[in-house]
Structure 1
Amino acid sequence: MRILWITAMPIKNIASSQKLKSSGGWIGSMIHSLNNNKEVNKIQVLSIGNYKAFELIENNIEYIQIKAKGGVFSYNAKLKEKLDRYIDKFQPDIIDVQGVEFFIGNLVIDNKNKTKIVFTLQGLVSQIWRKFFNDIDVYKVIRFNTFRGLFLNDSLVKRQMKYKIRGENEEFLLKKGKYFLGRTGWDKFHCLGINENASYFYCGRNLREEFYTQQWEIKNVNRYQLFTTQAHYPIKGLHILLEAIHTLKKDYPEIKLIVAGKNFFNSKFIPKLKRTEYDIYLIRLIEKYDLKRNIEFTGWLNASELIDRLQKTHVFVCPSTIENSPNSLAEAQILGLPCVASNVGGIPTYVEDNYSGLLYSNNDYVELSCQINEIFQNDQLALRISNNARQAAQIRHDKENNAKDLFMAYKSILNEK
């Protein structure tokens, strides 16, 4: 079987050689597991984006980085020509397009070779854009004037509209496509709800290699230390977590939140210019509750740096207001961290409440603070959740089983007339 993957993110193998940041470590993990199958003859990965063209062959896998000046969210005739040439040259049996929000799918779905296409579902932008501001009073956020909003045409409202357009393209491909890969009850519900004739295949996601060999231990944690990631959009829910920390600080004045991501308190000229309205909203909230000493922003972390931080964490929190299958939560679980997460989207597929984690109602910071406090107060609960989460994650993210499921999905698609 000859397999072609098309993705809109830099692949780790290429990114590391060009000093690019890549969030797609799971892609490399899955490809390597798939490549071990003796029935797989060749794998080619096309990575498309506004970065330097590059090619690399590693372990008989071809990685090709294609520069797309016009981006991947609108029709690009030159990119279509390039993709047609690569497909014609490689002659794949099946094409796996990572994500339906990108216009890449539109460019290959009617390829002249009639190669079968399967779409791997990601975040379901068609649902995310509707929750972009969620419980926040929009006017309390957009009233802040920013350089990027006024002069770069990159306000939060503008971003929401971009998500809306991507969501419309996603719904178009969900209706037009036939084969889809997903991993949560939520993405299956929305996929089949939009296209009742679609063929949906479950396939768990592999995680970055480094997370399979490490384990969290309660004896190593910094007590009352929380960890969360990606706090740059309202949908990531940092404002809700800040409200919860304000409540908890009364009993735990030493409480600490570690945020993996940019430090919007950075007062240097360029970082200040890059602030969004939401960044300023968070700054005001932190100042209002006097939380600046209780929060640390780490900047971007690689896998080993992230693991080091997580192993010192008392509770991992996923406060997102909408998510499908957050890798950050999965990585925390496979290490064995006690996790508290919002009961939204596909998260209940990953967290069974009071078994492999604690759930709270979306936007309810009082319930969130209570769930965090439960773990702070009860080491036996923390250890029970830790063990259950790790066992569940090891099964859900088993590399060989996931690769086998993916291959069998491909095989079923190819055998279908």
Structure 2
Amino acid sequence: MKKVLWLCNLAFSDQAIKGGSWLQPLAEKLQQSNKILILNISVGNVSKITYTEYKGIKQWILPQSKQKQYGQTATYKRCKEVQNIIESEKPDLVHIWGTEIFWASIYAKGFIKTKTLIDIQGLLYAYTDFYLGGLTINEILNTIHIKEILMPWRNLFTKQQIFFKRGQVELRYIKKFEHISIQSQWVRNLLQQVNPIAHYYPTRILLRDNFYTAQPWSYKNTTSPIIFSSCAAAVSYKGIHVLLKSIALLKKEYPEIQLHLAGKIMVGDKLQDGYSIFLKKLIKKLNLQSNIVLLGSIDESNIIKELQSCSVCVIPSFIETYCLAFAEAMIIGVPTVTSYTGAMPELATHEKETLFYNSLDYRNAASHISRLIKDQALAEQISQNARKRRLQENAPQLVLNTQLNIYKSILYEI
């Protein structure tokens, strides 16, 4: 049996995962296949390297480094910690998940001699051009408040530059890899311009078990529709400001309409970021105070409940390499209105499994939402088609076989 050591940001546990993750269910399925032995190294809130086991998976949790929070270059000490575990366990393959933090640098700096695969999740350098989310200069200036004045590196212009700089580091590391797995053709198109000689492996995403077995969405004939959307953090490229403008238009026709927003955005009593304050002021300006419900971070079961109870789900992001929230809505069968950007067109077809709109075009987005609220036949057709596609493309056995075949191809140089 071959050993595959993961380097990822998630430590496996029985605790509910907020925000969504396909890594833990995939690790469990691989372990249960009896074809691969999974090991895992992650980073967590521990004071020293902590060894644990989860469902037969050996894992090491490394303490948070004193380096910058989003540091992409591992310290020498961190590199040696990982190298020592690799030398002790002697895995046949190392699988790095993502370029957002320092895992890729450990390989790029030569501390990993084992065959290594990197899976691309977000692409920082590709996000830079979309970071501001179409905000006007005046709107950007209105996101500057006390927090941004006290900490100038938190304003949107500087954050965009930080993304650019991190993206340049990311590019240097990506060029070092021979084996790269990708979640969409869109990502492959970008990376082949950067590293044309790498071997690319299309992968598939495993959703959490409950999304496959949950009661499918059903049409709601109502004059008080609920629109659901989620945003992991208060970031401008997620397009929540565009969605709010759509809701303001829809309120003229549906005075009782509600937008349920999940995620760490506009919640909490601590000093809030300027973008969240901008959104709050925009809500007041658009007279939406009674129409917005802030859910905060919610777990898997509550995400499913929200999807089942809404009329339409909206994915307003300006850029996505793959979108787990979109896939989850589709598999529940929720009709969606989605921005046409990045890899989104690879997950669904316009007028068949979703309704697409240009990221900035809040008027057209509002029109699409209204169509799905009113037209039961259209909503149910899109619902059924979306669910059918996700059940096929995200089928657990297909996802498992795809991942096993990727490992086999690298291990045996097929």
Which range, TM-score by smaller chain? over 0.9
Indicate yes or no: 2:246 matched with 1:247. no
1:124-203 matches, within 5 Å, as 124-152=123-151, 153-203=153-203
In the alignment, what sits opposite 2:75? 76
SS at 1:291's partner residue?
A: coil
In the alignment, what sits opposite 1:65? 61
> In terms of mean alpha carbon deviation, does 145-154 or 364-373 score higher?
145-154
Deviation at 1:265, TM superposition (A): 6.4
Structure 2: 5+ residue stretches without partners: none
Deviation at 1:22, TM superposition (A): 5.1
SS at 2:172's partner residue?
A: helix
Structure 1 pair 233–51 and aligned structure 2 pair: CA distance change class (3 A): farther
SS at 2:327's partner residue?
A: helix
After superposition, the C-alpha distances for 1:19-56 in whole angstroms (9 at most, x for unaligned) are 9x65453111111111122322x211111256555332
In the alignment, what sits opposite 2:350? 353
SS at 1:298's partner residue?
A: strand
In the alignment, what sits opposite 2:213? 213
- The letter of the residue matching 2:278 is Y
Report the Cα distance in structure 1 between the residues aligned to 2:267 and 2:196, rounded to whole angstroms. Answer: 47
In the alignment, what sits opposite 1:227? 228
Deviation at 1:378, TM superposition (A): 0.5
Conserved? CA contact 1:256–1:294, under 8 Å: yes
Aligned residues between the structures: 406
Conserved? CA contact 1:263–1:298, under 8 Å: no
Structure 1 pair 110–399 and aligned structure 2 pair: CA distance change class (3 A): farther
- The letter of the residue matching 1:286 is I
Conserved? CA contact 1:117–1:179, under 8 Å: yes
Conserved? CA contact 1:95–1:117, under 8 Å: yes
Deviation at 1:248, TM superposition (A): 1.2
- The letter of the residue matching 1:140 is E
In the alignment, what sits opposite 2:238? 236
SS at 1:348's partner residue?
A: helix
In the alignment, what sits opposite 2:204? 204
In the alignment, what sits opposite 1:90? 89
Report the Cα distance in structure 2 between the residues aligned to 1:258 and 1:162, rounded to whole angstroms. Answer: 31
SS at 1:216's partner residue?
A: coil
- The letter of the residue matching 2:99 is V
Report the Cα distance in structure 2 between the residues aligned to 1:35 and 1:404, rounded to whole angstroms. Answer: 13
Report the Cα distance in structure 1 between the residues aligned to 2:340 and 2:219, rounded to whole angstroms. Answer: 29
Report the Cα distance in structure 2 between the residues aligned to 1:74 and 1:132, rounded to whole angstroms. Answer: 22
Report the Cα distance in structure 1 between the residues aligned to 2:157 and 2:189, rounded to whole angstroms. Answer: 28
Deviation at 1:288, TM superposition (A): 1.1
SS at 1:257's partner residue?
A: strand
- The letter of the residue matching 2:174 is L
Indicate yes or no: 2:282 matched with 1:285. yes
Please report the TM-score for the alignment, with normalisation by the length of structure 2. 0.92
Indicate yes or no: 2:388 matched with 1:387. no
Report the Cα distance in structure 1 between the residues aligned to 2:221 and 2:203, rounded to whole angstroms. Answer: 33
Report the Cα distance in structure 2 between the residues aligned to 1:346 and 1:398, rounded to whole angstroms. Answer: 19
Deviation at 1:210, TM superposition (A): 1.7
1:299-318 matches, within 5 Å, as 299-318=296-315
Deviation at 1:289, TM superposition (A): 1.0
SS at 1:133's partner residue?
A: coil
Indicate yes or no: 2:36 matched with 1:46. no
Conserved? CA contact 1:83–1:108, under 8 Å: no
Report the Cα distance in structure 1 between the residues aligned to 2:137 and 2:413, rounded to whole angstroms. Answer: 48
- The letter of the residue matching 1:105 is A
Indicate yes or no: 2:371 matched with 1:370. no
Structure 1 pair 249–12 and aligned structure 2 pair: CA distance change class (3 A): farther
> In terms of mean alpha carbon deviation, does 291-300 or 137-146 score higher?
137-146
Conserved? CA contact 1:240–1:363, under 8 Å: yes
- The letter of the residue matching 2:39 is Q
SS at 2:353's partner residue?
A: coil
Conserved? CA contact 1:221–1:312, under 8 Å: no
- The letter of the residue matching 2:262 is A
Report the Cα distance in structure 2 between the residues aligned to 1:192 and 1:138, rounded to whole angstroms. Answer: 34
Indicate yes or no: 2:410 matched with 1:408. no
Deviation at 1:107, TM superposition (A): 0.9
Deviation at 1:373, TM superposition (A): 1.2
SS at 1:389's partner residue?
A: helix
After superposition, the C-alpha distances for 1:310-353 in whole angstroms (9 at most, x for unaligned) are 11010000000111111111111111110110000011111211
Identity percentage over the alignment?
27
Structure 1 pair 260–176 and aligned structure 2 pair: CA distance change class (3 A): same
In the alignment, what sits opposite 1:259? 261
Conserved? CA contact 1:46–1:66, under 8 Å: yes
